[in-house]
Amino acid sequence: MTSNCGNAARGCGLGSLFASRRGALKAASLALLLFAVALATPRAEAAPAAPAGAHVYLMRGVLNIFSLGMDQIATRLQQQGIPASVHNHILWASVADDAVAEYRSGRAKVIILVGHSSGATCLPDMVERLSRQGVPVKLAIGLDSVFHTSLSGRVGKYINFYVANGAGTRVERTRNFQGTLENVDVENVPGVGHLTIDKSELMQQKVIAAIDAAVASGPGAAPAAAQGAPAPVARRPVTGAAAPPAAGRRRAAAVN
């Protein structure tokens, strides 16, 4: 007679065998499921190299209250991931020195300047100050400067948007200027005047498009720091007829 203990032992042995097989089957099924998920999941693409750091310095006009289009442009650039800051034009020298520090620290290798009214008038001074310290300005955009200004130093491209039948003036190049200068008369653009040029949607699009292109192309070669000798004469063509060198800055208007 088979004892109950013997039957129980055989039952326990078979139960253990079935349990171990079920465990193995579960483990194998889980492994196959994980393998299938791995095959179905697309591999992450390597992130493209980030463009060289850029900083856009936007300069407001007189009283620091009439050039709010500079703030709008700065906000739109920041939404694109481009660092931008807005400043009072009377602080142009300290802003230029900040740009020098940013460039030398490596935080910003693409320096871009934008200004409206008196903020545009100070841009040539900023370009010259940066050039003397060996810091390249990739792009400078002036919106209707109220003074007759002239350019020296070096900048990749300088675009001067001005309203010819208003307060704005052309920018002239001196023999010490190196770069590309474009004077663009926008007097026929609907709704654009001295107080609205910075707030015009069309003009903001033009400014931002030029900035995007400059940032995408990366940093240019740095100019040699000035050692007292004049910079070479620019070899790039100037849009429009070349004006004679300016003897300095002449007051053209007393508005913003």
Amino acid 3: pLDDT = 46
Distance CA 167, CA 147 (A): 8
Domain coordinates in residue numbering, the chain: 54-223
Is the separation of the CB atoms in 130 and 228 below 8 Å?
A: no
Amino acid 22: pLDDT = 55
Amino acid 146: pLDDT = 87
SS (H, E, C) 111-163: EEEEEECHHHHCHHHHHHHHHHCCCCEEEEEEECCCEEEEEEEEEEEEEEEEC
Architecture of the domain spanning 54-223: 3-Layer(aba) Sandwich (3.40)
**pTM (two decimals):** 0.69
Q: Closest by alpha carbon to 116, among 193, 182, 60? A: 60
Amino acid 185: pLDDT = 97
At a CB cut-off of 8 Å and minimum separation 6, what does 90 contact? none
Distance CA 69, CA 75 (A): 10
Amino acid 13: pLDDT = 47
Is the separation of the CB atoms in 158 and 180 below 8 Å?
A: yes
Per-residue pLDDT of the chain (256 residues), as tens digits, is 444 444 434 444 444 444 455 555 555 554 554 444 344 444 433 333 445 699 999 999 988 989 999 999 999 999 999 999 999 999 999 999 999 999 999 999 999 999 999 999 999 999 999 999 999 999 999 999 989 899 999 999 999 999 999 889 999 999 999 999 999 999 999 999 999 999 999 999 999 999 999 999 998 754 444 333 333 333 333 333 333 333 334 333 334 4
